[in-house]
């Protein structure tokens, strides 16, 4: 993390003295808005996870229907290949949300240096800074779900292409 002087030079447009008596009040309001935007990112991540889970579940079901309706055919591989692409996009989106939220919480921690209490920074301290014995962020587990689907789709692709029956 940068020093308070470096943070102030980059993060704050004006010093408290040059801004005036409302500096702390306005900073607190901006802080609240920024914390809310971090929560909205988490909400969007949850909704997109549900969306991708529904798509993947539908693709697996479609593969089963295609096999039972049309038998084993090489064209059936198109479904798991689509699933690999969807799962890859899901994986990249989870990573993007993780990176964005990490950046947001770095900024929140820096903003807290100008507030009386640093609640989010202290929470991260209590959680052992991500030490898996104390706290395991959801993203660490969440990023495995698309990878599991990709692996499953690879097996389905090989099954569609090479299984004879």
Flag whether 158 is in a domain: yes
15: pLDDT strictly greater than 90 = no
Flag whether 3 is in a domain: no
pLDDT tens string 31-72: 999 999 999 999 999 999 999 999 999 999 999 999 998 888
Distances in Å between the Cα of 17 and the Cα atoms of 3, 21, 149 are 19, 8, 55
What is the Cα–Cα distance from 145 to 130, expressed in whole angstroms? 20
Q: At 164, give phi and psi (nearest 5°).
A: -115, 140
| pLDDT tier at 2, thresholds 50, 70, 90 | low
Q: Which residues of 125-135 are buried (b: 16+ CB within 10 A; e: fewer)?
A: eeeeeeeeeee
What is the Cα–Cα distance from 139 to 130, expressed in whole angstroms? 11
100: pLDDT strictly greater than 90 = yes
| pLDDT tier at 14, thresholds 50, 70, 90 | confident
Distances in Å between the Cα of 45 and the Cα atoms of 77, 95, 102 are 29, 10, 13
Flag whether 64 is in a domain: yes
Flag whether 1 is in a domain: no
165: pLDDT strictly greater than 70 = no
Flag whether 150 is in a domain: yes
Flag whether 96 is in a domain: yes
Let me know: does 31 contact 90? Beta carbons within 8 Å: no
127: pLDDT strictly greater than 90 = no
Range of the domain at 24: 20-162
Let me know: does 56 contact 149? Beta carbons within 8 Å: yes
Across 2-11, 71-80, 82-91, 132-141, least confident range: 2-11
Q: Which residue has the higher pLDDT, 98 or 9?
A: 98
The domain tally of the chain equals 1
Average pLDDT, the chain: 90
Flag whether 102 is in a domain: yes
Helix (H) / strand (E) containing 25? helix 23-70
Flag whether 5 is in a domain: no
């Amino acid at each position: 993390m940068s020093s308070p002087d470096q943070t102030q030079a980059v993060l704050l447009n004006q010093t408290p003295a040059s801004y005036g008596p409302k500096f702390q009040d306005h900073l607190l309001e901006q802080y609240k808005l920024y914390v809310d935007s971090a929560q909205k990112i988490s909400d969007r991540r949850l909704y997109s996870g549900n969306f991708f889970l529904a798509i993947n579940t539908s693709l697996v079901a479609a593969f089963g229907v295609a096999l039972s309706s049309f038998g084993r055919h090489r064209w059936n591989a198109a479904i798991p290949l689509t699933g690999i692409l969807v799962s890859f996009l899901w994986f990249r989106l989870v990573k993007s949300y993780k990176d964005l939220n990490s950046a947001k919480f770095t900024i929140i921690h820096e903003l807290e240096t100008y507030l009386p209490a640093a609640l989010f920074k202290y929470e991260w301290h209590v959680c052992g800074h991500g030490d898996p014995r104390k706290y395991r962020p959801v993203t660490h587990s969440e990023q495995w779900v698309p990878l599991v689907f990709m692996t499953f789709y690879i097996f389905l692709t090989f099954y569609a292409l090479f299984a004879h029956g």
